[in-house]
Amino acid sequence: MIDAVVSYLSGNQSVTASVPVIAERIAKLTSIQDSIRSYEELQTSIAKVSSAKKAEAREKAEFAGNTFAGKLYSHGIETGNTEFTKKYEVTISDFRIIGDVILVTKLLAIKDDVRDNLNALGSHGITQEVYDEFAATVDNYVTSVSNKETSYAERSAAVKSITDLFDQASESLKTLDKLIEEYRTKNPNFFNGYKSARGIKDFGYRSKAVPEATQNQKEQ
């Protein structure tokens, strides 16, 4: 509706040229309109970037976690460590079906167990360099989860700003409604065009129905 009103009034500024305040209101509406679009684009952009980054980081973390869980399971079999064999008898599906918070907890546990058994896991191809790369993958995912919460807060702030801007736009539109009233009889075509752009059905001049009792008296 804001678009329609701004477009209509901007295209008919010659009609309202004698009332400068209308032009001021149009300019304010245009500014509000531009700000709303900016916040909407920001909101969409934040959501897309955050979701895409987290999805990518999660997928890498899932595969890495599953790989290292397998090595810890094998180590448990070799050493008779039943804690490891019970904890790490998992598949990639087990990583995929759990939520972010649980997955973070699981990955951090794997990371700690690998670090604490780094020397013993050498036969499984785990070196300090390999461990560091795995740790970085886990940390990146943990950060992406945290960033998603931050982006949610940013999107919420954008929504609040948009709501405030719509309130301002509503106030400007109400003022314009009052200012355009003078054209009801002065320029009916322009006035009706404005009402149409505003989506307002004008019932202001409907004739009142004659009460039935009064109608009967007239007919007698």
Burial classification of residue 9, based on how many CB atoms lie within 10 Å of its CB (0-12 exposed, 13-18 middle, 19 or more buried) = buried
Q: Would the pLDDT of 130 be above 90?
A: yes
> Using an 8 Å Cβ cutoff, are 57 and 141 in contact?
yes
Terminal-to-terminal C-alpha distance of the chain = 51
pLDDT digits over 55-109, tens only?
Answer: 899 999 999 999 999 999 999 999 999 999 999 999 999 999 988 888 988 999 9
- Report the helix count and the strand count for the chain, using DSSP H and E: 9, 0
Domain ranges of the chain: 2-198
What is the length of the chain? Answer: 220
pLDDT digits over 149-185, tens only?
Answer: 555 666 677 677 788 888 888 888 999 999 999 999 9
- Model confidence at 200, in pLDDT bands (50, 70, 90)? low
> Using an 8 Å Cβ cutoff, are 170 and 26 in contact?
no
Q: Would the pLDDT of 133 be above 80?
A: yes
Q: Which residue has the higher pLDDT, 220 or 88?
A: 88
Instruction: Dig out the tokens for 60 from the structure.
Output: 């890498």
pTM recorded for the entire structure:
0.51
